Structure 1
């Protein structure tokens, strides 16, 4: 079975755990939400693998980090670990993108190459911009969880990061258009 037979599974794996975390937090608090996040992330990643016979790199990294930091949160009853999870994931993504650039292989080309056709300069620029965005968002997560209430941090994690991602992606449209290969005829 190919993932094209189940186009909805990517969205379910990406958004299901976040929605479950948010709803459970509002009902039962951070520890219960963390437990639900671990379980739902594992179940949906497993379902995605069962249906498509592959796991994308980002959900796999998320599963590992959620398991480790969520597990530490529950085991030690310390919310610090789950609040650091977005920082760790975003930092890992930023480092992977910079590392790929350093060896001359922009990882975004591998991850998004089927959706976008850009020239090499475009892939390098887009990869660097994503790396900087992920690093800045990781720093912002650190500032917010260390200085604000848990309620505000959860709202930022669920809605703030989403809005920042959408705004960032919209600002990349001109770069993508400038470097796109096989542009439609005008």
Structure 2
């Protein structure tokens, strides 16, 4: 299926909507507990289980509209399903909270492994969309690998020391905002490495 362009607003809604839906469902259910098949589950775990089909529906819609899904989207969905399943199976919220650490940690490790080989996985994934000289990609990769490692450590600190509700708020808003601002600043700082189209 050929890749198709859709409205950037619709694309953002499909990509970010499930996370916002999880946050809203969690706020509604956080004080409640539910008995399913004789087992009592917290509102957090039920919100996690509701989040999974919402995420899959959004990804299916994105694929149907654009004809493509990024490797990062597929990987993130797999991690959500896997750790969401573990959370429900063991009736333990910590599995879903650890998911963020593992995702960020793996991203840092993948970028670091590429750098060790003198390559930039980012250039391979995004080179066509963002033309930039190889040196620029290496700089961005080093910085982003460090940022992902820092976010993984930050998540470990937050879920181990803060309340469940605080973790949900930071996971939903703070981590994505920090990553967005960081990437925006890096793109601005690396303008000298950008490849400009010939006049």
**TM-score, scaled to structure 1:** 0.90
Of 166-175 and 71-80, more deviation after overlay is shown by 166-175
| Residue 40, structure 1, aligned to residue 54, structure 2 | yes
Provide the rounded CA distance (Å) in 2 between the counterparts of 1:183 and 1:173. Answer: 17
How far the C-alpha of 1:11 sits from its partner, in A, is 1.8
Of 85, 91, 95, the match for 1:71: 85
Structure 2 alignment gaps of length 5 or more: 31-43
Provide the rounded CA distance (Å) in 2 between the counterparts of 1:3 and 1:70. Answer: 31
| Residue 59, structure 1, aligned to residue 73, structure 2 | yes
1:40-62 per-position Cα deviation (integer Å, ceiling 9, x unaligned): 11111222222333221111011
Of 135-144 and 31-40, more deviation after overlay is shown by 31-40
Provide the rounded CA distance (Å) in 2 between the counterparts of 1:166 and 1:92. Answer: 19
How far the C-alpha of 1:149 sits from its partner, in A, is 0.2
Cα gap change, 1:179 to 1:137, in 2 (>3 Å): same
Provide the rounded CA distance (Å) in 1 between the counterparts of 2:116 and 2:4. Answer: 31
Q: Is the 8 Å Cα contact of residues 25 and 33 (structure 1) preserved in structure 2?
A: yes
How far the C-alpha of 1:6 sits from its partner, in A, is 5.5
1:21 match: 22
1:68-127 per-position Cα deviation (integer Å, ceiling 9, x unaligned): 001111111100011011111111111111122223331111222233221111000101
What is the SS of the residue equivalent to 2:154?
Answer: helix
Note the aligned Cα RMSD (angstroms): 2.0
How far the C-alpha of 1:181 sits from its partner, in A, is 1.6
Provide the rounded CA distance (Å) in 2 between the counterparts of 1:77 and 1:47. Answer: 30
What is the SS of the residue equivalent to 1:35?
Answer: helix
Of 127-136 and 100-109, more deviation after overlay is shown by 100-109
Of 76-85 and 90-99, more deviation after overlay is shown by 90-99
Provide the rounded CA distance (Å) in 1 between the counterparts of 2:123 and 2:101. Answer: 24
Q: Is the 8 Å Cα contact of residues 101 and 124 (structure 1) preserved in structure 2?
A: yes
Provide the rounded CA distance (Å) in 1 between the counterparts of 2:55 and 2:164. Answer: 21
2:5 match: 4
Of 65, 70, 89, the match for 2:103: 89
How far the C-alpha of 1:129 sits from its partner, in A, is 0.6
Cα gap change, 1:183 to 1:175, in 2 (>3 Å): farther
Q: Is the 8 Å Cα contact of residues 13 and 59 (structure 1) preserved in structure 2?
A: no
